[in-house]
Structure 1
Amino acid sequence: MNTLPDIPLTRLIEYVEEDCPFGDITSEVVIDPQICSAVISARESLVLAGLTEVIRLSEWYGLAASSACSDGLYRQAGDVIVTLTGQAHTILLLERTLLNILGRMSGIATRARKMQDLVSAINPGCRIAATRKTAPGLRLMDKKAAMIGGADPHRFSLSDAVLIKDNHRVLTVVDEAVRRAKAFSAYHRVEAEADTIDEALRIAQAGADIILLDNMTPEQVSQVISLLSENGLREKVLIEVSGGITEDTLASYAALNIDRISLGMLTHTVINADFSLDIMKES
């Protein structure tokens, strides 16, 4: 999938309903019905993501939402992201959900942009990739945010592509598994994980489209690439590396002749970006 996924409106509504199963009792008790406006602003420098979802959700609940921004842009602390106008009860009802969406998605997008920029400066042909290490129910949101930040989404689900990993290899021989997967369909990419240098060669010889080098050191990855080149196979496969790669070690992998670096940290350890919502009473 190359286009940004559309998060179903029903899913966004579920987020609101989770936060107010029986209404917002505070606002209903202490605030009279009235029209007001509110602004959502950035509190730090960030790559904006989630604005599309915030506007859709606000408008569904009857608010007018306007913005001069768009997802993927850098924003600075103090920048107004979106202005909302409508019933005060509705703005207060949605406040935390809107901020949570913007915060999580922008946090992921900001980190992805930082990691991709670091990699691109060293190896323009290499991209970072998100993984399926997401909280249940948040995968579309997290993958979309990573894509906004410039990351490859990798697989959205187990149905997207064949990826033969360590637990598959316990139950079958990896090169035979690759051949069976290739025979199954010409319309799904086949990727297989290699634990050793020789295993990587066998996977390539079996016709895999992508070789996943998991938990290998940069030196071991370099040896795999040399072996594939010697056998005329390097240009026939994509090389992906993964496994505990951090911001500190990213450059040492990016310097190699590889195609993808998958980073679980993009979605399994999310640091939310900071936003605020401030209501302005109508005169």
Structure 2
Amino acid sequence: MIFPDIPLSKLISFVEEDSQFGDITSNAVIEPQSCTAVVSTRQHVVLAGIAECVRLSEWYGLSIKKSGADGTPYMAGDVILEIYGSAHTILLLERTLLNILGRMSGIATQTRTLQDVVRSINPKCKITATRKTAPGLRLMDKKAAMIGGADPHRFSLSDAVLIKDNHRVLVRVDEAVRRARSAGAYHRIEAEADTIDDALMIAEAGADIILLDNMAPAEVEQTLVLLKEKGVRDKVVIEVSGGITGENLASYAPLAIDRISMGSLTHSITNADFSLDIMKQA
């Protein structure tokens, strides 16, 4: 899988946000000197964000002596990054590097855990991320979920058509699908269904993906049966969404579905725990 690059300007802006008038503590108490810093994980993680940390460190003139790999599992105590250079610069970047690693690895670790649960039950099904991301951090959150094994879903409103409940208030869903199809041939069309009848209407209107929203597993199963009876099941991708968490994931995974969309991958994050320790030069 090819992961998107986070713009360097975005990474630099994180440092600038944290040091609008410089690092007044380090500037006041530390003499200019070189040192090595070691970044370690304090817990089991699926690493994500290391590529961003390396790029940011090198931009600020630091040298990378050792680097871990995104997507690789590491155990508590493992060293995942060694940096050499100006102590002032390392201290300037410290919190930004740890924030990037903590958030992205937290997302990747949780995602990998949940994807493994689904894969063990239904190898053909994949979990997907959503647009429920922190403002300004969309690309980072999506990339972290991808590193953890999820499908990123839409990155923005411009990627694909997704006809949701508020669209359906203003236009009937089958008509919305037809309008979307006539608007252009280069985007996939997905439509949300709250009921079994809606799902059939969407499939017969020619959508590519049906999003079964807030349906209990039994209702999802009934929908799949109806779509198969009508000869349209194989013409659409079936995605389920709405209130799906680690606690109830295993009740959806056995169903003959293609995608399980989980906002919790990016809106309910537990940061992974990393430390940065400076080693004074002899």
TM-score range, shorter chain: over 0.9
Q: Counterparts of 1:166-205 in structure 2 under 5 Å?
A: 166-205=165-204
SS at match of 2:57: helix
Q: Name the aligned partner's letter for residue 95 of structure 2.
A: R
Displacement of 1:186 after TM fit?
1.4
CA distance in 2, matches of 1:67, 1:86: 13
Moved over 2 A (4+): none
Displacement of 1:65 after TM fit?
1.2
CA deviations 1:28-87 (Å, max 9, x no partner) are 000000001010001000100000000000000000013242100000001000100000
Aligned to 2:255: 256
Displacement of 1:3 after TM fit?
2.2
Aligned to 2:233: 234
SS at match of 2:40: strand
Aligned to 1:22: 21
Aligned to 1:51: 50
CA distance in 1, matches of 2:281, 2:90: 14
SS at match of 2:186: coil
SS at match of 1:86: strand
**Are 1:246 and 2:274 an aligned pair?**
no
CA distance in 2, matches of 1:25, 1:183: 59
Q: Counterparts of 1:78-157 in structure 2 under 5 Å?
A: 78-157=77-156
CA distance in 1, matches of 2:221, 2:49: 38
CA deviations 1:100-149 (Å, max 9, x no partner) are 00000000000000000000000000000000001110000000000000
Unaligned runs of at least 5 residues, structure 2: none
SS at match of 2:260: strand
CA distance in 1, matches of 2:91, 2:75: 25
TM-score, length-scaled by structure 2: 0.99
CA RMSD of aligned residues (A): 0.7
CA distance in 2, matches of 1:107, 1:86: 28
**Are 1:265 and 2:264 an aligned pair?**
yes
TM-score, length-scaled by structure 1: 0.99
CA distance in 2, matches of 1:76, 1:153: 26
Unaligned runs of at least 5 residues, structure 1: none
CA distance in 1, matches of 2:123, 2:178: 32
* 8 Å CA contact 2:36, 2:85 repeated in 1: yes
CA distance in 2, matches of 1:84, 1:68: 9
Identity fraction in percent = 71
